[in-house]
Amino acid sequence: MFRGARRSDLEQILEIYAHARKAMADSGNPTQWGDSYPPQKMLEEDIDSNRLFVYTVKGRLEAVFAFILGPDPAYAKIEDGQWLNDEVPYGTIHRLASAGGRRGVASEVIAWCLEHCESLRADTHADNKIMQHLLEKNGFARCGIIHVEDGTPRVAYQKLSATVHMQEE
């Protein structure tokens, strides 16, 4: 079941992100989230803005992620490529983290997000091979490089619903 995150979920959400940071570091990606990303204040703002979601199975939180509809300022400029379609309104997945107890969580989150938009974007650190694999396995195309707010580069991805076509060049 998918639902909006609540403040009462915060302790479990922080545990999931701590697990994800450790898994990222163990897989060769220690810098993308470091020791403290995402900060609790950001998560509280995401909850209050109705953009942080949880995926629960049998009452247990299995994943947490931000799902944001509408333009993302970091995606306005893309280098070394182009978006598959830059005209259709899109949603973005950010800060996806799994509790680690269930396989296929990322695929289930992606499918849910695509039920709510025709175009879905995501980005990840060049060292985050696991996320790159998950996105590509789920039909995302690598589109180029974007830069996040602090100026660091990220590999940008996009997936279109079956009803949306790619732009003509």
Q: How far apart, in whole angstroms, are the C-alpha atoms of residue 131 and residue 93?
A: 12
Spans of all domains in the chain: 2-166
- Residue 165 confidence class, pLDDT cut points 50, 70, 90: low
Q: How far apart, in whole angstroms, are the C-alpha atoms of residue 20 and residue 8?
A: 20
The per-residue pLDDT for range 82-109, each reduced to its tens digit, is: 999 999 999 999 999 999 989 999 999 9
Written as one string, the DSSP assignment of 5-37 is: --GGGHHHHHHHHHHHHHHHHHTT--SSSTTTP
The per-residue pLDDT for range 7-43, each reduced to its tens digit, is: 999 999 999 999 999 999 999 999 999 999 999 999 9
- Residue tagged 């995150």 (tokens): 5
pLDDT of residue 162: 78
Q: Which has the closest alpha carbon to 78: 158, 3, 16, 165?
A: 158
**Alpha helix positions (H), the chain:** 10-26, 40-48, 105-114, 129-137
- Residue tagged 């609790």 (tokens): 40
pLDDT of residue 163: 74
CATH 3.40.630.30 fits 2-166, yes or no: yes
Pairing of strands 91-98, 60-69: antiparallel
> C-alpha angle with apex 122: 26 to 159, nearest 5 degrees?
125
pLDDT of residue 67: 98
The per-residue pLDDT for range 119-141, each reduced to its tens digit, is: 999 999 999 999 999 999 999 99
